[in-house]
Amino acid sequence: MRVSSIIPLLQSSTRVSRRILARAQDAILPATCLSCARHVDEQGTLCAPCWGRLRLIEKPYCSVLGSPFSYDLGENAQSADAIANPPSFDMARSVVLYDDIARRLIQGLKFSDRTDLAPWLANWMIRASDGMLANGAHIVPVPLHPRRLWSRRFNQSAELARPIAQRCALKFTPEVLVRVRPTRQQVGLRSKERRRNVQGAFRVPVEQKVNVTGHEIVLIDDVYTTGATLNACARALRRAGAKRISCLTFARVATGEF
């Protein structure tokens, strides 16, 4: 038998094996909704009620900030915020608005050690990336200060960034950006307070500039609130010579909610 005729058989056999494995996994560990733990048909999905309450961000949206528009303003339209306060990054995109179900998913990942959620959230982030995950971009998670990393034991942004890099065959480079001083929790701070809180908090180590200068960088974080943290990261990367900086988050706080 020719090799060319064997390959399709092997591929078919692999697909069958995967289906069998998936069914066996579902038999041992029944698939449950990522949000409420109701039974669902497939692993990594939401039940119908939770899915119905998820507020996906779809076009039309600001071409820079990715904030949703209530009606279509035309191709490459920018929001008033993007025009009045141009960000330090080139573009930002998010999957959903940070409300109810999205909050439950993020808080589960961040505070309840639900790292099993990260690969599934990463899949949605890839679909919402709007072309930024290309051209050999380096995937960089927003870093935690070592003290907070020690207390939390993992960086939720890195947990999201790693599967994104793996599935898109991109370079995962968490070491290129470090948080050089501890900062207060951003929750509860106003926009100006958030900016002051993270000002000068991030730096690209000298030995890592080779991985930044002339490269496209995609910053990964869990939630876009005011953009203060992502802007602070982008400024550090820009000073190190980054060619283009994009930001990808799972959720985004809707305009007027912060």
Residues of the chain with pLDDT under 70: 1-28, 182-190, 192-197, 255-258
In a domain, residue 39? The reply is: no
pLDDT of 185: 62
* Contact between residue 236 and residue 208 where contact means Cβ atoms under 8 Å apart: no
* Contact between residue 219 and residue 140 where contact means Cβ atoms under 8 Å apart: yes
In order, the DSSP letters of 124-162 are HHHHTSTT-S-TTPEEEEPPPPHHHHHHHSS-HHHHHHH
In a domain, residue 189? The reply is: yes
- Domain that includes residue 159, residue range: 56-252
**Residue that is written with structure tokens 């050690």 in the block:** 113
- DSSP β-bridge partners for residue 242: 213
pLDDT of 115: 92
Which residues contact residue 34 at a Cβ distance below 8 angstroms, ignoring those fewer than 6 apart? Answer: 44, 45, 46, 50, 105, 117, 120
Backbone Cα Rg of the chain: 20
Helix and strand numbers (H, E) in the chain are 9, 7
In a domain, residue 62? The reply is: yes
In a domain, residue 104? The reply is: yes
Q: How many domains does the chain have?
A: 1
User: pTM here?
Assistant: 0.84
pLDDT of 56: 96
In a domain, residue 27? The reply is: no
pLDDT of 92: 98
In a domain, residue 105? The reply is: yes
Pairing of strands 244-252, 216-224: parallel
In a domain, residue 199? The reply is: yes
Give residue-wise pLDDT tens across range 48-74.
Answer: 999 999 999 999 999 999 999 988 998
Residue 39 in tokens: 């039974």
Say which CATH number the domain at 124 has: 3.40.50.2020
pLDDT of 258: 31
In a domain, residue 6? The reply is: no
